[in-house]
Amino acid sequence: MTTNAPAGLPFMKMHGLGNDFVVIDLRDGGAMPDAALVRRVGDRHFGIGFDQLATIQSDDRSDAKLTFFNADGSVSAACGNATRCIARFLLDESGAKALTLRSDHALLPVEDAGDGLTRVNMGPPVLDWRHIPLAADVDLLHLPIPGDPVATGMGNPHMTFLVDRIDAVNDFPAFGAAHEDHRLYPERTNVELAALIAPDTLRLRIWERGVGVTLASGSCSCAAVVAAARRGVTGRRVQVVLDGGRLDIDWRDDGVWMAGPTAHVCDGVLRPDWIAAPDDRP
């Protein structure tokens, strides 16, 4: 005689240009993962591994509500590539050409951009120091930090360094880690190096708060384009070349639109005995 084992927790693994995600669909119910479980799932050796974890929930104000977690268990109000990945999943599921999703930052229109690409409106950039947030009222275009970076909010905070060469910083991981916790950013910050490599083409390197160096980031790409356009380095339509591939950014009157490819890699189930097991690592 057999008995049915507990079902565990289903998940999807997705990525946008190597910026990878675990996605948990909670539209039929289920508890939001706590920070400890997020950190365990995010461990690339003891769990699954991801840059961000995202949940999908039913919502009476949009087609779905999205919540994002960084690998360290902290919550982020925005994650552009995860939004695009989930948008592609929901567009394919529904057969629709356009939907509206909601994050903790904004309502996000998404659409099929053709040729396998998915486009999302990340909303207008945040250009008020209190809402980025920063710790003081400073010049957002010229922060009082060596390297003359720009501050931008995209639902999460950003510090963008406009550099002559993408290899201008010898040890980018150490550079990113040091600036993530800068005292001017009370909620920490994402850090970008952005170099102009052709008219309206930026080469970007990314440090994401709570994660580290990543191959790509949608919100970081949007913030870098806003910073470059405001400083007069580029126009508002820019190709962004990242370690993992290319995104097309278009800063319009209604917000910053981002288009690029997505990949749904696999589906799986977190075993209930693994979820329940204590984390005994030192």
Let me know if 262 is exposed, middle or buried by CB neighbors in 10 A (0-12, 13-18, 19+).
buried
Q: Are β-strands 64-70 and 98-102 bridged in parallel, bridged antiparallel, or unpaired?
A: parallel
Residue 224's pLDDT is what?
98
Q: Which two tokens stand for residue 259?
A: 């288009």
Q: Please, where in the chain does CATH 3.10.310.10 lie?
A: 9-109+264-276, 150-260
User: Of 56, 62, 158, which is closest to residue 108 (Cα–Cα)?
Assistant: 62
CATH architecture observed for domain 150-260: Roll (3.10)
> 3-class DSSP state for residue 94?
helix
Residue 279's pLDDT is what?
76
Q: How many residues does the chain have?
A: 282
Rounded to 5 degrees, what angle do the CA atoms 233, 129, 80 make? Answer: 65
Residue 74's pLDDT is what?
93
Q: What is the number of H-type helices and E-type strands within the chain?
A: 5, 17
CATH for 9-109+264-276 (1.10.10.10, 3.10.310.10, 3.40.50.460, 3.40.190.10)? 3.10.310.10
Residue 106's pLDDT is what?
87
Cα separation, 66 vs 82, in Å, equals 9
Question: Which residues have a Cβ under 8 Å from the Cβ of 71 and sit 6 or more positions away?
Answer: 38, 39, 42, 50, 51, 52, 53, 210, 211, 212
> Residue 193 pLDDT > 80, yes or no?
yes
Q: Tell me: the pLDDT tens digits for 33-57?
A: 999 999 999 999 999 999 999 999 9
Q: For the chain, where are the E strands, in sequence order?
A: 9-16, 19-25, 52-57, 64-70, 75-76, 98-102, 107-114, 117-121, 150-153, 157-163, 190-198, 201-208, 212-214, 237-242, 245-252, 255-260, 263-270
Q: Tell me: the pLDDT tens digits for 102-158?
A: 998 889 999 999 999 999 999 999 999 999 999 999 999 999 999 999 999 999 999
**Site of tokens 């659409």:** 111
pLDDT tier for residue 6 given thresholds of 50, 70 and 90: low
> Residue 1 pLDDT > 50, yes or no?
no
Q: Tell me: the pLDDT tens digits for 225-271?
A: 999 999 999 999 999 999 999 999 999 999 999 999 999 999 999 99
Dihedral angle sign, alpha carbons of residues 207, 211, 214, 216 = negative
Q: What is the mean pLDDT of residues 199-221?
A: 96
Report cis status (omega within 30 of 0) of the bond before 133. Answer: yes
> 3-class DSSP state for residue 104?
coil
Dihedral angle sign, alpha carbons of residues 268, 271, 276, 277 = negative
Let me know if 18 is exposed, middle or buried by CB neighbors in 10 A (0-12, 13-18, 19+).
middle
